[in-house]
Amino acid sequence: MSHQHFTLLKTTNSARAGELNTPHGRVLTPVFLPVGSQATVKTLTPDDIKSLGFDMLLANTYHLYLRPGIDVIKNLGGLHRFMVWDGAILTDSGGYQVFSLSPLCKISDEGAKFRSHIDGSEHFLTPELAVQYQEALGADIIMVLDECTAYGDSRKKVQQAMERTHRWAERCHKAKTNNNQALYAIVQGGMFPDLRQASAEYLKKLDFPGYAIGGLSVGEPKDVTLPLIEQTDALLPQDKPRYLMGVGAPEDLVEGVARGIDIFDCALPTRVARNGALFTRKGRINIRRAAYSKMDSPIDPSCDCYTCRTFSAAYVSHLFRSEELLGLRLATIHNLRFIRNLMNDIRKSIMDGTFQSFREDFLALYHTTNEQTRVEQKGRWLKGRGNQVT
């Protein structure tokens, strides 16, 4: 980008507070991006997203390429105008969806041949096309095309994918033409610390304006994830933003910030909301449980969202038990506001120099999902994504 893209304002140990400067406004970090895969955050309007306190969201190139088509969006004025969103947008390259959603995906050095999960039609995505599509969409931050691997893949397969990701990153760098967009590289290397180090060091030499950590939170235990985040993050440039892809559980946001992450995105807060799982400062609750069916108080008395200010837990429970669509909307509003408030509190504690005590207090109170259950649920979700769109 032609101006200073990222400014680091304060650090507390490894935790960082800064700001991203984009063509669509300033974004304070650390920041969580709601996921709007198909140019919409499910059940919410753009005004809802803005009123919840978000200045930036994520959209998905793969899904928009298939429907309604990149040219359709470009001819209608670009993604911001198409979805009537005046804040910043980050688009991913679509690589993860190509590898995880598409049947009969075939990878070569040239690119990825895949079939649409919608109608089976055949397509071919190259690094150059990934950049071209994202430039046409007009996002503020765009991503290189990378090759994703699965948890449990062999070292040989992971290393081959990492090296191809490096070659593709160079091609994306050369293909980029729009100076108003920031192109981020993606560090790969699977669960192998030495490969992570090699990837970070290689990509760092290419001098991208930002760096993402990919290939984590793909079904591995957290005691594997967290050390890899810490190790990778320490290798990345101090003056560039660090983006941890696909992570959004409240405890993971706190722990990610503690390890130096600036940007997060994940469909989890909105996806679990639609299944009746709601965040509170004491942990996640299932609003369908009988205990909430007669509760004449908010889901979380400390929450200032529209749902908690207006409705009882009993009413929201009733909506889910009756399969009323309003329940999905109210739950999504609550979870996203919870995440936004959490990120605001994290940033304030960094600026105040009190992040470590905030982290300890939060994690002491927040009851996390059982690790074995979490891994099993994640594995089932990854295995069964098929035609799902988050």
Cα gap 235→187, rounded to integer Å: 11
Handedness of CA 11, 15, 19, 20 (dihedral sign): positive
Amino acid identity at 239: D
Whether 119 is a known active-site residue: answer: no
Catalytic residue among 140, 146, 265, 300, which? Answer: 265
DSSP state of 291: G
Using DSSP's 3-state secondary structure scheme, residue 213 falls into strand
DSSP 35: B
Closest CA to 242 of 141, 322, 335, 174: 141
Please indicate whether residue 265 is annotated as part of the active site: yes
CB distance 92 to 99 below 8 Å: no
Nearest to 312 by CA among 328, 324, 301: 301
Residue where the block lists tokens 């449980």: 289
CB 216 within 8 A of CB 228: yes
Indicate the helix (H) or strand (E) that contains 336: helix 325-352
* DSSP, res 292: G
State how far the Cα of 266 lies from the Cα of 274, in Å rounded to an integer.
Answer: 14
Q: What 3-state DSSP class applies to 78?
A: coil
Positions of E strands within 180-267: 182-187, 210-213, 242-244, 263-265
Q: Where are the alpha helices (DSSP H) in 221-324?
A: 222-235, 250-258, 268-274, 306-310, 313-321
Q: Please identify which of the residues 92, 146, 252, 262 carries the catalytic annotation.
A: 92
- Residues 51, 52, 56, CA angle at the centre, nearest 5°? 95
Q: How far is CA 62 from the centre of its chain?
A: 15
Which residues are known to be catalytic? 92, 265
